Structure 1
Amino acid sequence: MEYLEFSIFDLVHWPHAGQKLEGEEQIQIYENHMEEWLLAERMGFDTIWLGEHHFTEYSMTPSPNIMLSTLAQRTKNIKIGNMINALNFNDPWRMAEEFAMLDILSKGRLLIGLGRSADVLEYEKFGMPLEDGRPRFKEGLELIKKAFSQEVVDHDGQFFYVKGGSLTPRPIQKPYPQIYTTCLSPETHAWAAKEGYPVSTLFLPPDRASESYNTYMSERKKNNLEVDPKNYLMARHVYVAETKEKAMEDAKEPMLEFLRLFQNAAVPDTQEELDSFPENFKFFTQFFAPFFGGELTYEGLIESGLFICGDPETVAEEIQFQQEQIGFGQLMCWMSFGNLSHNKVMNSMELFGKHVMPKFKSSVKIS
């Protein structure tokens, strides 16, 4: 059995459907998630990844970097990262400055995840054409790398301009923290592999994820880059309880709530909108299609491998199966989802840390 790294991925959903986001309840949500991330460090997880979303109950971290700055002060060893900052919605020079500060505050534990948002409704509300997402991301990434690697930066691009800029402060890690990117479309696989960026992906069943992994690694090999599973991260919803039956019962309503939150936040309202995506967004026509065909059910999520749920032994066996089929080197565990209670998240994480992770940190084969 291959050695695996395990991380926590969290978007910090608002768990109270129909209740307005205001008041002290928001404080409690942040405190609950912080407690979960501190437990992740104690249980031996390798990294905590936080994501960026806007305008929606789907995520209470529109600026994950602010949360990471707090997390950096409350942890000592675990790596911290954003997966992702939606670079097309941000000023890249400001991002470079924040990354440098975070790397200093964390004493060199920062990982940087960058991508373009895939959530159509965010583009609409920001008034940004879908076709601008990819070129804004690529130019923004170019400017960030200039900020990290050049003493004085001149940049006159399609979207961004800097004249004689010098990054202050500068990151601890040299030449700069490792940059990751999200990867769903075939074009992104080829580009990320050529540029040498490790990638993360989600919502792909094992057979399609295996194709994704093989495509990405084949492209790396073509470009004379190392072919190492550590460069491919797979995100999965994960829930562990004392018995398989309890896990299935506990997680059903929270997973259905997650699907509702995701659909409201990211999925176009009509098939017509989906069909009208521009060329460089066409992959997402396929990605969002299941939401229009009634294909997504709780049982279907488990059967398809998108949700790993059960007692510790069942969960470990499913992770081993998927790792062998796909090849990923890190499992990003999405353990707080929908309206799952804080106590159940904590219990699930403890069971996972005590009884699942150790199986992948040694040479013991799961029978």
Structure 2
Amino acid sequence: MKFSFFHLMPWTDITDSGKDWPVANKHFEPERGTEFYRNYIDAMAYAEECGFDLVGCNEHHFSPYGLMANPNLIAAALAQRTNRIQLAVFGNLVPLNNPIRVAEEYAMLDVMSGGRLVAGFMRGIPHEYVAYNIDPNESWARLHEATELILKAWTEPEPFGWEGEYYQFRSVSIWPRPRQQPHPPIMMSASNPESAEFAAKHRAMMGVVMLVNLDGAKQSIRIYKDAARANGWEPAPQDILIGQHTCVCETDEEARHYLSEGRKYFYGVLGGGVRTAANLVLKESRFYENAERRQGVDKRRQVFSETTIDEFIEQGAVLCGSPETVVKQIKRIHRELGNGMFNITMKVGNIPDSVVWRGMQLFKERVLPEVHDL
């Protein structure tokens, strides 16, 4: 079993104004921001010492939800602070960026880190398209074309031209090329049938980025495996990543308290602006292809607001408790889903950094030894 330590880099000092979108950047304090970045990067580098296999980051815009407008900058910093751990960029929001730039920066990271990159190809969430003035209706088509272009840029040894629907390049020949050949392992979100099939087509690892419930994850995994077989290959357990909010404390009660409070801030404040923006996009676009999917988004938000932390634990949606309790939870999820990788987020909302660091120590000392060989 592999474990990824994932960090959103949230801003923890916002008030109810976080429910607006965009959030006015007058609330950002540069000196405090420097402290945040330093502490967050320290924690991510410490993940290597704690025995994690990967350290993960991602991309978000115009929101205190996450301070990583460019995750490649964070990964580059971590490449210089670590020696063994894989750098999992989950990921660049490919439809919003120049795909050749993505190919180049990912190749640089792979070479700089000695071949430790896991490259995420993500579509993103609705409001990112408003932030970068990209038509949300084009999100899937842009992702498909950009993915093909990036893979060709990594693997084509001679200069080539590209004339696509969304991207045109007269001549492409990136320097450097990736260190891992034919290219770094790629990760794609597979939280719904469309994305699961797309990931399988490209032999990408699939990620249920944030587990909602076990039944939904089982459906995505089944679709992913069926699509992989249709494309002539069989996924291994370590091709399947499950992402979860995680809190490990000395006692179950302490962990429940901190995760409950952190998720209130995460969904109630940080997530408020994201929901506001998403609703604007969903009313005006076909970001989600059918009405059932769009209604599913609203239903999921309602579930998150009404479900208690104990219910989330029972559903397998979070890892929360003492080390011994978390070991049991990991074994249960692995038994039901057959995944070979967990992507755990310990800095949930405004959970104190001291709780995160202590949780990492407990995970190292009393959780990993019991589950790493699953």
Q: Fold conserved (TM > 0.5)? A: yes
> Corresponding residue for 2:74?
67
The structure-2 alpha-carbon separation of the partners of 1:47 and 1:249, relative to structure 1 and needing over 3 Å to count, comes to same
User: Paired residue for 1:290?
Assistant: 300
2:255 maps to which residue?
247
Q: 2:150 aligned with 1:144, yes or no?
A: yes
Aligned to 2:135: 129
Are 1:332 and 2:343 counterparts? yes
Runs of 4+ in 1 over 6 A off after TM superposition: 269-273
> CA offsets per residue over residues 193-243 of structure 1, 9 Å max, x none?
122111101233112111221221122123220231111100001110001
- Secondary structure of the residue aligned to 2:320 is strand
Task: Please give the alpha-carbon distance, in whole angstroms, between the structure 2 residues aligned to 1:65 and 1:7.
Answer: 17
- Contact map agreement 1:44 1:353 (CA 8 A) in 2: yes
Q: Does 1:6 align with 2:17?
A: no
CA distance in 2, matches of 1:351, 1:27: 27
**1:279 Cα deviation from its structure 2 partner:** 6.8
CA shift, 1:361, in A, is 2.5
CA contact (8 A) 1:316 1:359 kept: yes
Equivalent residue, structure 2, for 1:16: 13
Q: Structure 2 matches for 1:69-88, cutoff 5 A?
A: 69-88=76-95
The one-letter code of the counterpart of 1:321 is R
CA contact (8 A) 1:139 1:157 kept: yes
- Judged with a 3 Å threshold, the aligned counterparts in structure 2 of structure 1 residues 250 and 188 are, in CA distance, closer, same or farther, namely closer
CA contact (8 A) 2:92 2:121 kept: yes
Q: For structure 1, list consecutive stretches of 5 or more residues without a partner in the other structure.
A: none
Name the count of aligned residue pairs.
359
Q: Distance in 2 between matches of 1:317 and 1:279?
A: 38
Aligned to 1:35: 42
Aligned: 1:316 with 2:313: no
Q: Is the 8 A contact 1:207 1:326 kept in 2?
A: no
- Aligned 8 A contact 2:142 2:166 in 1: yes
Contact 2:7–2:345 at 8 Å: present in 1 too? yes
CA distance in 2, matches of 1:230, 1:92: 27
Are the counterparts in 1 of residues 211 and 242 from structure 2 also a CA contact under 8 Å?
A: no
Q: Say which SS state the counterpart of residue 137 (structure 2) adopts.
A: helix
1:352 to 363, 366, 371: 363
2:182 to 169, 175, 186: 175
Tell me by how many angstroms 1:47 deviates: 0.4
Instruction: Please tell me the root mean square deviation across aligned C-alpha atoms, in Å.
Output: 2.0
CA–CA distance in structure 2, aligned partners of residues 315 and 223 of structure 1: 36
Q: Structure 2 unaligned runs (5+)?
A: 16-25
Partner of 1:185: 192
* Pairwise CA distance, 1:301: 2.9
What's the secondary structure of 2:141's corresponding residue?
Answer: helix
Letter in 2 for 1:250: Y
Q: 1:261 to 1:153 in 2, by over 3 A?
A: farther
Q: In 2 relative to 1, CA 292–270 (structure 1 residues): closer, same or farther, beyond 3 Å?
A: farther
For 2:287 and 2:348, locate their aligned partners in 1 and report how far apart those are by CA, in whole Å: 32
Q: For each residue in 1:80-139, what CA deviation from the matched residue of structure 2 results, as whole angstroms up to 9, or x when unmatched?
A: 021011111110001111011111110111110011112x22222333222111111111
TM-score, reference length from structure 2: 0.90
